[in-house]
Each structure stands twice: as structure tokens, then as C-alpha cells.
Chains A and B, each alone.
Chain A
Amino acid sequence: QKEVEQDPGPLSVPEGAIVSLNCTYSNSAFQYFMWYRQYSRKGPELLMYTYSSGNKEDGRFTAQVDKSSKYISLFIRDSQPSDSATYLCASSEEAAGNKLTFGGGTRVLVKP
């Protein structure tokens, strides 16, 4: 069993819809939870991170973590074609961003 699991998609939505992405993890020691966006033939870029359980909002993006169920979510409101990318969740036991364990990524396609 992989430590961080994601549905690979692809997830296709019309422009303006809400994109809902999820990950599950198995390592109870994970404390930091990150979401990265990766465009084709580019490196991942950090979208946002949360510490422990709770919600965090940044513009059109909302991240949620439920440690009791080991469930991580990312919501993208008012989706745009430019949001078409692969979204990777990642977790770490230590300081945010260090020693990351990535999920496999979910490919998202936002159609105009």
C-alpha cells in the first residue's frame, strides 16, 4: 500500500465548475499536507499547505485535512482552462515541505 494515494483521473469539468480533488494517506505521523500543481513538461509548484487538521483558503483554492479519517481535499472554485494540470498531494512528518511523500497525481482538464 502506498503511503499517499490519489485517483489518477482524468477529471474533466466545464469552465466555471468546482474541481474537487482528494487524497488518502496511511502514515499517522504525517503532520504537513501540501498540494502541488504540475503543468505538462514542468516541475511541480506549491499551491498551498496545511498543518494538521483544518481548512485553509487562498483565493479560489481551499484545502481541507481530516486527520481522523486520513483524508486530504483540494477544491478549486470557478475553474479556468488554465487550471488544467496534474495536481499532486504530498505529506511530511517534519517541517512543511521537507521529506515529502507524494501521491500519484490527478490529471484535471477544464474545458472552455
Chain B
Amino acid sequence: TQLLEQSPQFLSIQEGENLTVYCNSSSVFSSLQWYRQEPGEGPVLLVTVVTGGEVKKLKRLTFQFGDARKDSSLHITAAQPGDTGLYLCAGAGRAGGTSYGKLTFGQGTILTVHP
């Protein structure tokens, strides 16, 4: 069974601070996706990382996939109140496998950015 441990579970910071959310697993994933989920809504895709060591930037958000494709991080620079929300990481398939589906989700990080 593949597991994805996401930390921290809760993060409360002041506007302008930086933060990092981590996702770790003992399993290798073929890709890793980061989502943001608002209450009562479906996960909305932020980014997909596929290659070990890959770094992707989305404005103030930086996503990194570990070299071994077992872990990933989300770094937010100069957080703003609009960044407040639930952030989810999800690993897809197994490296070298044929299954593209079955996303394994982390438990999520609830981020609160205070003005």
C-alpha cells in the first residue's frame, strides 16, 4: 500500500512570511500532483511534477519533486491572505508501472495567512 505523509497538518502564519509544505513517502511515484481545495468543492490542480529533481514555479509558489520521486515540497514566498486554504499532494501510479490512475492523497495542509 502506498502512503503519502503530508506535513505540517496546520500552518498559521503572518502575511509576508515564507512557508514550506512537505510530502514524503517510502514509495516511488510516476508523478506527483499538488491541488488546492476550498471547503465543499473539488480539488483544483496547481501543478504536476513528473521528473525526479524537477522544479516548477507558479508565481510565488515553487514545487519540487525529489530526485528519487518519493517526496515533494511546496514553498510559498511572501504569503498573502488569498493563499489561505487546504493544500493537497497526490502521488500517481508507480514508476515503471502501467497504472496511471489511483492517486494516493496526503492528508492535507490547512494554511491560514493572517493579514
The answer on A and B forming one complex is no
